[in-house]
Amino acid sequence: MRDKDTSRKPSYDFKPGHDSFLAEVLIGLRKPQKELPTKYLYDEHGSRLFERICELREYYITRTEASIMQAHIEEMAELIGPRVLVIEHGCGNCQKVRFLMDYLHDPVAFIPVDISQEQLLRVARELDSVYPRLQVLPVCADYTSSFELPVPKQESKRTVVYFPGSTISNFDPIPAKHFLEHIASLCGSGGALLIGVDLKKDLAVLHDAYNDSEGLTAAFNLNLLQRINRELDCDFQLDGFEHYAFYNPRESRVELHLVSNRDQVVHLDGKTISFAKGESIWTENSYKYNLDEFQQLAAAAGFRVERVWLDERQWFSVQYLTTR
């Protein structure tokens, strides 16, 4: 067993620093339709709020995906095969990948990639002790940017990227294609992608999932302003903005916004940014697919859809894609 160093650093640290956070926020807030990068929703507090969202009755995604995984995990492990390298982009608390790991046949290494450094290192230590035969190589990075992957000690039979939770929903169509192309090149020939993809469904179900009665999604969304205040010394009034989420059928996506409830200004880096009453800051998209649409996207990125597992209501899919 390896040394369980509690002070370990990530193998690779590509976390965006203060300056790029500030630059990206300024760029977003100067656009005619103001926006903020979705990835910054996930600081320590945001990640915790998101975990609580995943447990909400109204938020069907996590539960539905887990039920599909439970029902078909043996078949998935069989398809994936023995002695693989697993990579997960945006692993969060790594709860989902642990379920997969428990069923995989003698996996060789695991590369968790996440932007939330504290959580990443905590979780990597946990995985080290739970899976002593698995080499865990955490990478702290914004996985939408390019970064280098560490090379595991042991050779693996195949690289499998695990991308659960329908995180792909956050990508606009063209970036989604580019991201999947990037995954295909990471996997190489003979590689595979096990991905969770949320599907189109009744609008009331979607509405409730992003407008939960406990207000956790609202708190998650508003936390971004709090984070900007704290880390960039800004002065957003939190009661001046309201969470607003709706399904945009033209674009097949749920959009999350923060809407200014009055005329107001905010100061950031010596600049003044004005908000009219009713003006919004767009913070997140969640694209919903049907199986054909996703198959086309996958094909455009160089993947073949090998297998699709669905829940009874056909609300969610887990898909096994291979590189061609």
For ligand AVJ, the binding residue among 217, 260, 319, 322 (CB under 6 A) is 217
**What's the helix, strand, coil split of the chain in %, to 5?**
40, 25, 35
For ligand AVJ, the binding residue among 165, 192, 247, 322 (CB under 6 A) is 165
- The Cα–Cα gap between 1 and 219 comes to 42
166 contacts ligand AVJ (rule: CB under 6 A):
yes
The string of DSSP letters for 261-324 reads: SS-EEEEETTEEEEE-TT-EEEEEEEE-B-HHHHHHHHHHTTEEEEEEEE-TT--EEEEEEEE-
Range 169-188, binding ligand AVJ (CB under 6 A): 169-170
Closest CA to 10 of 84, 93, 95, 114: 114
Nearest approach, Cβ of residue 101 and ligand AVJ (Å)? 21
The angle that helices 117-130 and 95-103 make with each other, rounded to 10 degrees, is: 20
Q: Which of left, alpha, beta for 165 (phi over 0: left; psi -120 to 50: alpha)?
A: left
92 contacts ligand AVJ (rule: CB under 6 A):
no
Nearest approach, Cβ of residue 74 and ligand AVJ (Å)? 25
Nearer to ligand AVJ by Cβ, of 135 and 167: the residue is 167
119 contacts ligand AVJ (rule: CB under 6 A):
no
284 contacts ligand AVJ (rule: CB under 6 A):
yes
Binding range to ligand AVJ, per CB under 6 A, among 124-132, 165-173, 177-185, 262-270: 165-173
53 contacts ligand AVJ (rule: CB under 6 A):
yes
Nearer to ligand AVJ by Cβ, of 37 and 165: the residue is 165
Nearest approach, Cβ of residue 176 and ligand AVJ (Å)? 12
102 Cβ contact partners less than 8 Å away, ≥ 6 residues apart: none
Are the C-beta atoms of 111 and 149 separated by less than 8 Å?
yes
In the DSSP assignment, the letter for residue 9 is P
88 contacts ligand AVJ (rule: CB under 6 A):
no
Number of residues that bind ligand AVJ (CB under 6 A): 12
Range 55-74, binding ligand AVJ (CB under 6 A): 61
Q: Where are the alpha helices (DSSP H) in 55-201?
A: 60-80, 95-103, 117-130, 173-187
* Residue length of the chain: 324
Nearest approach, Cβ of residue 84 and ligand AVJ (Å)? 24
Nearer to ligand AVJ by Cβ, of 90 and 302: the residue is 90
116 contacts ligand AVJ (rule: CB under 6 A):
no
Q: Is 178 helix (H, G, I), strand (E, B) or coil?
A: helix
Nearer to ligand AVJ by Cβ, of 217 and 260: the residue is 217
Residues facing residue 244 across a β-bridge: 257
Nearest approach, Cβ of residue 178 and ligand AVJ (Å)? 17
Binding site for ligand AVJ (CB under 6 A): 53, 61, 165-167, 169-170, 210, 217, 220, 284, 286
